[in-house]
Structure 1
Amino acid sequence: MQTLNVLDNRFSPFNTFSTLSADTLTADALAAQNFIDSKKLTKRNTLLIIEQLQTTLDLDELLTIFAREVARYLDFSGLYFKCPSVSKTLRGSRKAKKERQFQLKINNDYIGTLTYSINAPISIANFKILEQLHQCLLHPLKNAVAYHQAMQLAMQDALTGLGNRRYFDEQLKRAMHNANRHHSLVGLVLGDLNKFKAINDNYGHPTGDKVLIEFANILRTCIRDSDSLFRFGGDEFAIIVENANEDALAIIEQRVLQALPENVLLAKYKLGCSLGSTFINRADDEHSFFERADQALYRKKMNMSHRLSVV
C-alpha cells in the first residue's frame, strides 16, 4: 500500500496526520496533491481546497478533509472545534505540549473556535497559509454547523428538549451494536406518569405541559451524563443506559421514586410514575429489546408495585 508523506521531514514523527493512505483519498484529493506547493497556496490550490470542503455537510468528515490540508503546513496531533451548539474532536486527536486557538468569524459573526494541539512552533510563512486555510473553511463550516443544528432539532422533542422517538430508534441501534461489539451491558428503562390524563382533563394542557417538563428535569438529575434520555410523546419516556453494571437500572428507579415526592409541582398533584426496565441479551434485536422493557412497564402499571421488574 502506497503512503503519501504530506509533511516536511522536520515535523514530529508523532503528528497524527503526518501520513495519508492513498486508499483513503478521493480522486479529487489525489489530483489536488499534484498542484499543491508546500510553500504557498495559489489561487488554483485554494479553489481545489474549497471544492473539497464543499463536498460534505457532516462536521466530522469536514474536519477530516480540512485536517489533511492543514497537515501539510502544521505539525499538530489534535484538532478540536467548538461553538455554542456543538463540540467536535477530530478522530485520532491526541494532546500535545502546546495548544493554539483560532476564533473563526464571518463579518464579525462568530462561527466557532478551532484548537490545535501542536508539536512544534508555527513558522510565519505557515501561519499565513493557515489563515488562508481558515478562510477556505469558513463558509463550509458555517453550513455544516447550520445543518447539524437542523438535524438536532429534527431529533428533539419540542416541549422537553429531550431526544424524540426517531432519535431513540437510532441511538438504541447504535448502543446495542456497541454493546455486542465490546461485550458490555446496556440497559433500557421505559417510564410514564400514573394518571397523567387526569391532569390534562382537570387542570388543562398548559398544566400538563408544566408537569411533563418538570418530570423530564427530574429524570435528567437521576441519570449519568453518559446515559441518554428521550420522550416519545404524551407522558412516555425512555432511558438508554450504556456501559451499565447490574445495579444501574435499580439505582435509576430508586432515584426517580425518591425525587418525585420531593418535587413541589408533582407532589401537589400527587403524581407517581411506573418504570419498566431490562438488560440486553445477545439474541436481541431492537424490537425484542424494546418489547421486553415495554412488557415490564405494563406489568408494573398493572400491579402498581414499587419493586423493580428487570426481565
Structure 2
Amino acid sequence: MQTLNLVENSNVDFNAFKLFDTRDHKNNYRKLALAEQLQTTLELDHLLNIFAMEAAKFVDFSGLYFKQADVRASARGSKAGKKERIFELKLNNRYLGTLTYAINSPISITNHTVLKQLHKLLVHPINNAIKYQQALKLAMEDGLTGLGNRRYFDQQLKRAMHHSNRQKSRLGIVVSDLNKFKAINDTYGHNIGDDVLVEFANALRKSTRDSDSLFRFGGDEFAIIVEDASEQSLHIIERRIEQAISNNALLHQYKVTCSLGYTFMNRADNEKSLFERADNMLYTRKMNMPKTLTVV
C-alpha cells in the first residue's frame, strides 16, 4: 500500500494550480477540468464515478473503492479484478482513508506517476465529502445514545416501506418505552436517567440484527424498523430485549423494565398509520401489562 500525503501551508488556501506543471498545457487543461468536476458534488459515490472516468485513461481497472472507518463508497459498476492496488490518502498528515483499485493489468511507472498527481486533485473533494457525511450523520443522530433520531426514523420508515412494497417483503415496526422512567429521574436524578437510557439503547443493539434500524425519539421513547420481518423474528427481538435488560447490571440495579408494541405493514398503510398502530399496541400493553404481545 502506498501513501499520498498532501501537505499544505495552513495560511494559504488550497490552489489546484499548484499541482500543475506550467510547461504542460494539455495536461493542465485536463487536470483543471477534472478539478472543476470534482467540486460539483459532496456525494462520495459520485466523486468516485467522476474520478474513475479520468483514472481509467491510465489504469486498467474494474473497480474503484474508498474506505474510511464506517464510510464506504464505490464507483458505479465496480467489481473484483485480478489484483488490488491500495493507496492511502492523507491531508496534512491526517489520515483520510484508502483508495483501492481492482486492477486487471500492471500499472506502468509513467501511469503510476500520473495517478499520484490525480490523487492530489481528489484529496480535498474527498475530505469535503467526508465532512458533509459526518454533518448529515450528526443531524440524524440522537446525541445521547447514538441511535437515529425522529427525523431519521421518518426518513428510513418511508424508504423501508417503499422497499417492502417493491420486494413484496414483510416490514415490521417495534415501538418501546421504559416503565416508570419518570420515577427513576425523580428519585435518582437526570444523570442516572441518562445512564439508563444509554444502557437501554445498548440493550436494543444487542437484541437486534445489523439490518435492523434503531431510533430514539427523545425521552424514553424508542423504535425499531425490522425489514424482512416475521412474527418469529419480532418475538425473538422481544425475548432478547428482556434478556439484555436482565443481564445489564445498571438496568437491573434500577429495576428497569420496558413495554413494547409492534405491528406489520399492510398495503394500505402510510407512515402515519403504520406507526400509530404500533404505538396504540404499546399503549394497550402498557395499560394492561399482558405477558405476550399481540400482532396487529
Query: Please, what TM-score do these two structures have when normalized by structure 2?
Result: 0.88
Correspondences of 1:207-218 after superposition (within 5 Å): 207-218=192-203
Find the counterpart in structure 2 of residue 66 from structure 1. 51
Q: For residue 60 of structure 1, report the CA deviation from its aligned partner.
A: 1.7
Q: Find the partner of 2:235 among 222, 234, 250.
A: 250
- The answer on whether the counterparts of 1:260 and 1:271 sit within 8 Å (CA) in structure 2 is yes
Q: For residue 41 of structure 1, report the CA deviation from its aligned partner.
A: 6.5
**In structure 1, distance between residues paired with 2:256 and 2:231:** 28
Q: For residue 90 of structure 1, report the CA deviation from its aligned partner.
A: 3.0
Q: Deviations over 1:209-229 (max 9, x none)?
A: 000000000000000011111
RMSD, aligned CA: 1.4
Find the counterpart in structure 2 of residue 142 from structure 1. 127
**In structure 2, distance between residues paired with 1:260 and 1:173:** 30
Structure 1 residue 238 corresponds to structure 2 residue 223: yes
**In structure 1, distance between residues paired with 2:236 and 2:132:** 37
Residue 163 of structure 1 aligns with an amino acid whose one-letter code is G
**In structure 2, distance between residues paired with 1:91 and 1:185:** 29
- % identical aligned pairs: 63
**In structure 1, distance between residues paired with 2:74 and 2:229:** 25
Structure 1 residue 55 corresponds to structure 2 residue 40: yes
Find the counterpart in structure 2 of residue 288 from structure 1. 273
Partner-residue secondary structure (3-state), 1:42 = helix
Residue 116 of structure 1 aligns with an amino acid whose one-letter code is Y
Gaps of 5+ in 1: 1-39
Q: Which range moves more in the overlay, 240-249 or 47-56?
A: 240-249
Q: For residue 85 of structure 1, report the CA deviation from its aligned partner.
A: 4.9
Q: For residue 309 of structure 1, report the CA deviation from its aligned partner.
A: 2.2
Find the counterpart in structure 1 of residue 211 from structure 2. 226
**In structure 2, distance between residues paired with 1:91 and 1:217:** 35
Bigger RCO (CA 8 Å, 6+ sep): 2
**In structure 2, distance between residues paired with 1:246 and 1:72:** 53
Say if 1:284 and 1:275 are closer, same or farther in 2 by CA, change over 3 A.
same
Structure 1 residue 122 corresponds to structure 2 residue 101: no
Structure 1 residue 77 corresponds to structure 2 residue 50: no
Partner-residue secondary structure (3-state), 2:131 = helix
Correspondences of 1:173-212 after superposition (within 5 Å): 173-212=158-197
**In structure 2, distance between residues paired with 1:41 and 1:208:** 64
Q: Deviations over 1:1-54 (max 9, x none)?
A: xxxxxxxxxxxxxxxxxxxxxxxxxxxxxxxxxxxxxxx971111111000000
**In structure 1, distance between residues paired with 2:223 and 2:59:** 45
**In structure 1, distance between residues paired with 2:270 and 2:74:** 31
Partner-residue secondary structure (3-state), 1:178 = helix
Q: For residue 184 of structure 1, report the CA deviation from its aligned partner.
A: 1.3
Find the counterpart in structure 2 of residue 164 from structure 1. 149
Gaps of 5+ in 2: 1-24
- The answer on whether the counterparts of 1:85 and 1:149 sit within 8 Å (CA) in structure 2 is no
Q: Which range moves more in the overlay, 231-240 or 108-117?
A: 108-117
**In structure 1, distance between residues paired with 2:279 and 2:41:** 39
Find the counterpart in structure 2 of residue 275 from structure 1. 260
Q: Find the partner of 1:92 among 63, 77, 80.
A: 77
Find the counterpart in structure 1 of residue 90 from structure 2. 105
Q: Which range moves more in the overlay, 66-75 or 183-192?
A: 66-75
Q: For residue 246 of structure 1, report the CA deviation from its aligned partner.
A: 3.4
Partner-residue secondary structure (3-state), 1:232 = strand
Query: Please, what TM-score do these two structures have when normalized by structure 1?
Result: 0.84
- How many residues align? The count is 272
Find the counterpart in structure 2 of residue 6 from structure 1. none
Q: Deviations over 1:129-176 (max 9, x none)?
A: 211111110111111111111111111111001111111111111111
Which consecutive segments of 4 or more residues in structure 1 shift more than 3 A?
Answer: none
- The answer on whether the counterparts of 1:82 and 1:114 sit within 8 Å (CA) in structure 2 is yes
Correspondences of 1:256-271 after superposition (within 5 Å): 256-271=241-256
- The answer on whether the counterparts of 1:41 and 1:129 sit within 8 Å (CA) in structure 2 is no
Q: Deviations over 1:46-102 (max 9, x none)?
A: 111000000011112112111222222222122211113512233422112211100
Q: For residue 123 of structure 1, report the CA deviation from its aligned partner.
A: 1.7
